[in-house]
Amino acid sequence: MHHTLHALAIAERLAADLAPSALGIALFGSVAQGTDHPHSDIDLFLAVESGAGTEIRQVEGRMVTLSRKTLTDLEGAFTSPWEAVVAVGAWRRARLLHDPEGHLARLQARAHAWTWDLIGPGADHWAAGELVGLAEEVHKTRGMLERGRTRAAAANRAILVLQLGYAMSVANRLVCDTENDLWDAVAAAEGPAWAAAWDAAAGITPAGHEDGCRAALALYRHAAARLATHLDGDAAAIVTTACDLTAT
Residue 113 has pLDDT above 80, yes or no: yes
Residue pair 37/4 in contact (Cβ under 8 Å)? The answer is no
- Report pLDDT for 23: 94
pLDDT at 207: 82
Evaluate if residue 144 carries a pLDDT over 90. yes
User: Strands 62-70 and 42-48, how do they pair?
Assistant: parallel
Alpha carbon distance 182, 241 (integer Å)? 29
Q: Domain ranges for the chain, please list them.
A: 2-117, 122-246
Does the pLDDT of residue 1 top 70, yes or no? Answer: no
CA distances from 131 to 57, 106, 159 (A): 36, 35, 12
Whether pLDDT at 191 is above 90: yes
Mean pLDDT, residues 151-165 taken together: 96
Instruction: Tell me the whole-structure pTM to 2 decimals.
Output: 0.89
pLDDT band at 248 (very low <50, low <70, confident <90, very high): low
Torsion-angle region of 59 (φ positive above 0: left; ψ -120 to 50: alpha; else: beta)? beta
8-50 tens-digit pLDDT: 877 888 888 889 999 999 999 887 787 778 788 889 999 999 8
- What percent of the chain has a predicted confidence (pLDDT) above 90? 75
- Identify the architecture of domain 2-117 in CATH: 2-Layer Sandwich (3.30)
Phi, psi of 111 (to 5 degrees): -65, -40
Distance CA 58, CA 61 (A): 6
- Lowest-pLDDT range of 8-22, 47-61, 92-106, 124-138: 8-22
